[in-house]
Amino acid sequence: DSGVTQTPKHLITATGQRVTLRCSPRSGDLSVYWYQQSLDQGLQFLIQYYNGEERAKGNILERFSAQQFPDLHSELNLSSLELGDSALYFCASSVSPDRFATNEKLFFGSGTQLSVL
Amino acid sequence: DAKTTQPTSMDCAEGRAANLPCNHSTISGNEYVYWYRQIHSQGPQYIIHGLKNNETNEMASLIITEDRKSSTLILPHATLRDTAVYYCIVRVNAGNMLTFGGGTRLMVKP
């Protein structure tokens, strides 16, 4: 158990819909990262938040957005869903003792399997 | 981030050492080498990382060549539970996001 909690574990929805994925980082971790894993694209970094602020952005679509709340949990919002958005979505966290902390281990949750029908 | 090259797949007999190679010929002086593994659609799991010196922990050993252009992850006594995709990642020491490549699919066989 990594200590990172993701809910729900499975989500089935229809094209055009909007869903929210939730992540609770390990206790004390300030950074949260979101990754997408599809069969043809592998693990893709989407976005990172540090202590409530966006820290880094990867290959995140404009239809997707995320935020990190004062209690440090994070949500990934996916809207206007398409068939191609079906994937495993992972959240990870790290301690990040300060904004420029580096050389850290990331701890991953068990993921949310999203199926868009 | 420096690119890495790993074999697509490898087999290993249970109880034997598994040696997983990784080439990172364009690595720069401040880039760490990280290893993660992913067991069948579970979240990736941190294994080990290093900069210049060889490293060992309870899971594995990491051997980095003197020129730092390649490294080897060693699982000293592979078990069936070590069957997974192993990712070698090299990244600059700024920001912590990981860029995953294709990894090596290790199959441990009885």
Give the model's pLDDT for residue B31. Answer: 83
Q: Test A58 with B94 for CB contact under 8 angstroms.
A: no
Confidence class for position B93, pLDDT limits 50, 70, 90: very low
Q: Check CB contact under 8 Å for A90 and B45.
A: no
- Is pLDDT above 90 for A61? yes
Taking CB atoms and an 8 Å cutoff, what residues of chain A touch B94? 100, 102
User: Which of chain A's residues have a Cβ under 8 Å away from the Cβ of B102?
Assistant: 42
CB contact under 8 A, B43 and A2: yes
Of residues B64 and A105, more confidently modeled: B64
Whole-number Å distance between alpha carbons of A27 and A40: 33
Average pLDDT, chain A: 92
Question: Degrees (nearest 5) of the Cα angle B17, B70, B77?
Answer: 10
Which chain B residues have a beta carbon less than 8 Å from that of A54? none
Digit-coded pLDDT (tens) for B39-63:
988 999 999 999 898 999 999 999 9
> Residue A42: is its pLDDT beyond 90?
no
| Residue B84, min C-alpha distance to chain A (Å) | 14
Q: How far is A34 from chain B (nearest CA, A)?
A: 9
Higher pLDDT, B74 or A96: B74
Q: Which residues of B touch A4 (CB under 8 A)?
A: 43
Q: Provide the shortest C-alpha distance from residue A92 to chain B (in Å).
A: 9
Q: DSSP assignment of A64-84, as one string?
A: EEEEE-TTS-EEEEE-S--GG
Contacts of A98 in chain B (CB under 8 A): none
Lowest mean pLDDT among A96-110, B35-49, B60-74: A96-110
Long-range contacts for A16-20 (Cβ within 8 Å, ≥24 apart)?
A16/A80, A16/A81, A17/A81, A17/A116, A18/A77, A18/A78, A18/A79, A18/A80, A18/A81, A19/A77, A19/A78, A19/A81, A19/A114, A20/A75, A20/A76, A20/A77, A20/A78
In chain A, pLDDT over 90 holds for what percent of residues? 75
pLDDT tens column, A3-41: 999 999 999 999 999 999 999 999 989 999 999 999 877
Task: Give the pLDDT band of residue A1 (cuts 50, 70, 90).
Answer: confident
The answer, for B53 touching chain A at a CB cutoff of 8 Å, is no
Whether omega before B110 lies within 30 degrees of 0, making that bond cis, reads no
Which chain A residue's Cα is nearest to B37?
A108
